[in-house]
Every structure is written in C-alpha cells, then in structure tokens.
Structure 1
Amino acid sequence: MSGYQYPLRADWTTEEIVAVIDFFSKVEQAYESSVEREEFMKYYRAFKKVVPSMAEEKTLCKEFEESSTYVAFRVVKLAKDSVAGEQLKIK
C-alpha cells in the first residue's frame, strides 16, 4: 500500500470507491513499472462513470498528485495517444 491517501468522496458507494482506487492504482503502476493500454483504459472508463465531470476529474487528479506526486493526466494522455497493445510507462 502507498504512503498516501486516495482522493475519495463520502457520498460514493463502495463500488464507486473501488473504481476510483483502481484507476489511481493503475496510474501508480504506469509510473512504477508499466500498464497495458487497454487495461488502463478499462479502469479509466470505470472512473469516468463515477466522475463524469471534467472539473471533478481535475480536482481529484490534482488531490492525488499533491499526495503522491503522480500526474494522472500524463498517463491518460499517454494512453489516448497510444495504440492497442502498448505498454504505458511514465519515465
């Protein structure tokens, strides 16, 4: 487990909390080792179902970045710019 907290909201269901934690876990994985693009996008889509608002997404990602130093938007952009089957790795 990481030495920081995930940005969560009290009004989320357990399923929604799991989706958000899973997404941020995949962001960590892209920094610490690598994550397959389709796998990452699956978790990003689940995250977006919980957080459809771009403003809320930015807020949560900023909170995560301040806590962990990992920039979720860099991984999302890399995933969107990559092709199927690629490994995502932030250097």
Structure 2
Amino acid sequence: MDYNYPIRHDWSTAEIIAVSAFYEAVEKAYESGIAREELMRAYRGFKVVVPSMAEEKTLFKEFEEASSYACYRVVKAAKEGNDGEMIKGARR
C-alpha cells in the first residue's frame, strides 16, 4: 500500500479504526475477495462514523483517487448480493 487512507483529523481513534477497517475490506475485495457479510459489517461501521451521503461520496472519491479501488462498486455489489457470497472488485 503506497497511499494514505482519507481520514478526518476530528475523528476519534475508534472512528479512524472503523473507517480504516472499511477501507481494508474494500482492498481485500479487490485483492482476493471478501465475504459479503464481512464487507457489510465494515460498511455499517463506516456509516456510523460517516452517516452523510455527501461525505461518503467525498471519501469514496478520495480513496479511489489514492488507491484506484472503487468503494461504491464493491458496496453496490454487496448490497445486491446474498449472504454467503464472495465480493470481488474489478478495476476499471
């Protein structure tokens, strides 16, 4: 990983950990695949910290620019998937 996660400096340590866990889940989806349940658990933790859709879009964009991993595509696949499925990302 040669990039930094987009975080906000006003977040608590617990909030940074929750958001970082989500970013790690997205990376895992792209690199090897991740269980839908695991990804959704990480996304729910992210949403506790970032409930605003506008802020979510901003962070997703910043993460994609830094890593080339699209959070939106992975989350969309997970939301449309079923329990027990593996979610895999596809670079554009």
TM range (shorter): over 0.9
Deviations 1:32-66 (A, max 9, x none): 00100001100000000000000000000100000
Supply the distance in 2 between the matched residues of 1:90 and 1:74 (Cα, whole angstroms): 7
| Partner residue in 2 for 1:45 | 44
**TM-score, length-scaled by structure 1:** 0.97
Equivalent-residue separation in structure 2 for 1:35 and 1:82 (angstroms): 12
Please give the root-mean-square deviation of Cα atoms over the aligned residues, in Å. 0.6
Percentage identity across paired residues of the two chains: 59
Aligned residues: 90
Tell me, in whole angstroms, the C-alpha distance in 1 between the residues paired with 2:43 and 2:32.
Answer: 18
After TM superposition, list the pairs within 5 Å mapping 1:1-91 onto structure 2. Answer: 2-91=1-90
Give ranges in structure 1 of 5+ residues lacking alignment: none
AA of the residue aligned to 2:23: F
Q: Separation in 2 of the partners of 1:90 and 1:20?
A: 18
Runs of 4+ in structure 1 off by over 2 angstroms are: none
Unaligned runs of 5+ in 2: none
Looking at structure 1, the residues matched to 83 and 65 of structure 2 have their Cα atoms a distance apart, in angstroms, of: 30
Amino acid at match of 2:7: L
Q: Which amino acid aligns with 2:76?
A: K
